Structure 1
Amino acid sequence: MVSSKCPPIGHFVCLNLLFYTLVYYKKKSHIETDLIHGGARFNETSSLVPPIYQTSTYYASESAEQYLETATAVSPSYFYHRHGNPVNNQAADLIAKWEGKSHGLLTSTGMAAISTAILSALNAGDHIIVQHSHYSATSLLFRQVLPKYGIEVSFVDQTDNQAFERALKSTTRLIYLESPSNPNLAISDLQFIAHLAKEHGILTICDNTFSSPINQRPHDFGIDVVIHSATKYLGGHSDLSAGVICASESFIAQAWKHMVVLGTSLAAFDAWLLLKGLRTLNLRVKQINENALKLAQWLEKQDKVDQVVYCGLPSHPQHDLVKRQMKGFTGIITITLTGSSAKEKFLFAQSVLTRLKLFSNAASLGSVESLIVHPASMWGNNHNAEEKVKAGIDEGMLRLSVGIENIVDLMADLHQALNT
């Protein structure tokens, strides 16, 4: 407590100390601080860095009653690794907090998070509304897997609010969103869709991978469940695969049961790496945002680039919606190269990829290093011609994931690749 006997010269200091003490006790922590210290209650050791619990099994409790309580608990830290792990729980708790949710659950991959969450929400005979544009593996789940289990799927244009309304059925149980979408950076109106869903008692899930909680919080607009491929921005160093589901206590309990049965829990070492990556999330994303905006503005001036799509540019067709929903614009830029035909665009895109020195032609995104892919090649076997058009995939399209390198060097690399 602050003493009431502060000397006159110390009144200002004492008042400031009192203010910060009140802020602390009200737990109004800032993300920069919480990413370092959050979830500490799960670390029951005196180690500054939580240890890696490289074990599958923990000793049984002293009594049968305690054992039964632990064995049937949701995500216990000390029972059996597939059920829970101290570091897994610490990382999940930290991510969930900054997504505005009370509980979190880590999975082995981003697709494990997506499939676990969706299967937790749906039964045979249910109907789900999804977008035309999704991450490729997510699209395969909707087109090829869910229908096999008696789940009806409707695809809509995510930029058309009324399309979601028109797609509603009496059996609709879930609306699944990805915003910004991969790879065309289309935006879903989260507030409108969340309100529509709540009016009809429908659950909403949003994949927030492209944004991270630094740039966007779907919870703030009424979305029920938020998921991530934690492999991307949350981990941030291209050294792990992980997924996370953030939701209410009841939904996480349901998802946890599916995770235990499906075996999609995250390995201890990957959870430790994820927690380590989260420490610098705020710093990394802010630098990536800054680099990407400058690079997108520069790319708009390049003669060999026909179109630049970036959430932070006024030229983005949904820029007004972007500004309402997002606090930052992410590190993903989609460009379409010039060319008089699809074949010419394809060949130009491939030649650019071979000349780049700093941008690695590699899958994934959200890392400290800059990456680039050709979506038409990467997803070529997963979409027919009509589906490519609906998903906005062009033969001359390149998806850039901007890293934290010096922006001048990134511009120079793209300049020589485009003009050599």
Structure 2
Amino acid sequence: MANNQNFDTIAIHAGQAFDPTTGAVIPPIYQTSTYVQDGIGNLRGGYEYSRGGNPTRTVLETLLAALEGGKHGLSFASGLAAEDTILRAILQPGDHVVLGNDVYGGTHRLINKVHAAWSVQNTTVEMSDLTAVEAAIRPETKILWVETPSNPLMKISDIAALAEIAHRHGIVAIVDNTFASPALQHPLDFGADVVVHSTTKYLGGHSDVLGGALIINDDELYEKAQFLQFAAGPVSAPLDAWLTVRGIKTLSVRMERHCKNAQAIAEYLDGHPAIEQVFYPGLPGHPGHELAAKQMSGFGGMISVAFAGGAAAARLFAESMHLFQLAESLGGVESLVNYPSEMTHASVRGTELEVPDNIVRLSVGIEDVDDLIADLASALPRG
């Protein structure tokens, strides 16, 4: 894929040459577990067994790397499988991770519960406070884990500044780019070492596939992660890889509509008497607005709102809409509403990452924005 091609072209063509046998424009799904060898150890195309490699997964991994402007891509069965792999590729018992105080609850659970059992330590910190971030780093710190925009409070972290801190201390800067997607943000361009995605979200884009990804530039770290992908087996299945590739083809045009709709909805909600605060980086009053405008090409499709009426008002709102369907996950073409305190972030209740119970998270889809606003209006308290 030519280096001078633009993002929209890359999304449609990178790694996706037509099938040489039939001329099919779309590469086929290689729904196979194993491959015939031309003599012992003489592999066709390097494929031996689909845990180690599959042509459909190769297409996706090539595409993922191209989308993020990275050297290597790896595809996994879920976002958490990707996260677990990169953590194990870097960490040893006794090592330490610094992560934001507003990360996805599943990420915190993985580090704080699963890896903690193997003596991995962690510290959560406000990522916008660079002094606090640097103070949290210890001699045994190996990873600085950044999520921007964050889930669910839409905090914006300065990737370049955080990567500089990480590198000054000899640690790996990992950025979860799920909320922005590579259509809006390229963390590697700002100095990140690794990008992680839940491809379930905007990359797949249709709420019909589960997946995760790592994009890595460093050859040695890539080899470690690739070995764990093979040895532990958390790989994406051929159909899942194919569906993700199909979704990525429309990523750019989808993100344009997600951003446009979310901006209109954030402006509608901002100042509503029932709403205490709107968390959306596209609003000029958002504390990360200027930084988001600098490191993102759009403000995304995710909004969180805090209700003045507390938990009761938030729960009633979440359960009262029709187009915004009550469900976990995000990034699909359809709009979803989520109550983080008891859904996506239930695992962090009682910790410093606990989400206030008056918060509702909206994943704004690509429906007609007037219909979406009408749905919101029908659920908001009147008067």
Fold match (TM-score > 0.5): yes
How far did residue 94 of structure 1 move? Answer: 1.1
Correspondence for 1:294: 264
Aligned mate of 1:407, from 365, 369, 373: 369
Q: Deviations over 1:61-88 (max 9, x none)?
A: 3354x34xx8xxxxx7622111111111
Query: CA contact under 8 A between 2:11 and 2:67: conserved in structure 1?
Result: no
8 A Cα contact 2:159 2:190, kept in partner: yes
What TM-score results when the alignment is normalised by the length of structure 2?
0.95
- Partner residue of 1:239? 208
* Structure 1 residue 383, shift from structure 2 partner: 2.3
Q: Spell out, residue by residue over 1:354-400, the C-alpha distance to the aligned partner (whole angstroms, 9 max, x if none).
A: 22010000010000000010111115641233x2xx43622111000
- Partner of residue 357, structure 1: 322
Spell out the pairing of 1:361-376 with structure 2 (5 A cutoff). 361-376=326-341
Q: Indicate the residue corresponding to 1:30 in structure 2.
A: 6
**Which residue number corresponds to residue 25 of structure 2?**
48
Tell me the residue number matched to 2:253. 283
Deviations 1:33-70 (A, max 9, x none): 22121113595542211111111000113354x34xx8
Residues of 1 paired with 2:52 and 2:12: CA distance? 25
Q: Do the aligned residues in 1 keep the contact of 2:86 with 2:225 (CA within 8 Å)?
A: yes
Q: Structure 1 pair 380/38, CA: closer, same or farther in 2 (3 Å)?
A: closer
| Residue number in structure 2 paired with 1:60 | 37
Residue 265 of structure 1, aligned match among 235, 240, 247: 235
Superposed CA offset, 1:121-169 (max 9, x none):
1111222111111111111112112221121212211121111110122
Aligned: 1:398 with 2:360: yes
Asked if the contact 1:96–1:103 (Cα under 8 Å) also holds between the matched residues in 2, the reply is yes
Instruction: Report the more deviating stretch, 186-195 or 246-255.
Output: 246-255
Aligned to 2:293: 323
3-state secondary structure, aligned to 2:157: coil
Structure 1 or 2: more helix by fraction:
1
Alpha-carbon contact 1:77-1:85 (below 8 Å) kept: no
Percent identity between the aligned chains?
38
- Tell me: CA distance 1:252–1:338, structure 2 relative to 1, closer, same or farther (3 Å): same
Residue 66 of structure 2 is aligned to residue 97 of structure 1: yes
Q: What is the DSSP-based 3-state SS (H/G/I as helix, E as strand, rest coil) of the residue aligned with 1:355?
A: coil
Count of paired positions:
380
Query: Letter of the aligned partner of 1:34 in structure 2?
Result: I
Q: What letter matches 1:28 in structure 2?
A: N
Aligned in 2, Cα 1:138/1:44: closer, same or farther, shift over 3 Å?
Answer: farther
Are the aligned partners of 1:43 and 1:86 in contact in 2 as well (CA < 8 Å)?
no
The 1:156/1:42 distance shift into structure 2, 3 A limit, reads farther
- Contact 2:111 / 2:120 at 8 angstroms: preserved in 1? no
Q: What is the alpha-carbon distance in structure 2 between the residues aligned to residue 196 and residue 129 of structure 1? A: 12
CA distance in structure 2 between the partners assigned to 1:63 and 1:127 by the alignment = 44
Q: Which runs of 5+ in 2 are unaligned?
A: none
Is the contact between residue 345 and residue 354 of structure 2 (CA under 8 Å) also seen in structure 1? no
| TM-score (normalised: structure 1) | 0.87
Contact 2:148–2:176, Cα closer than 8 Å, also in 1: yes
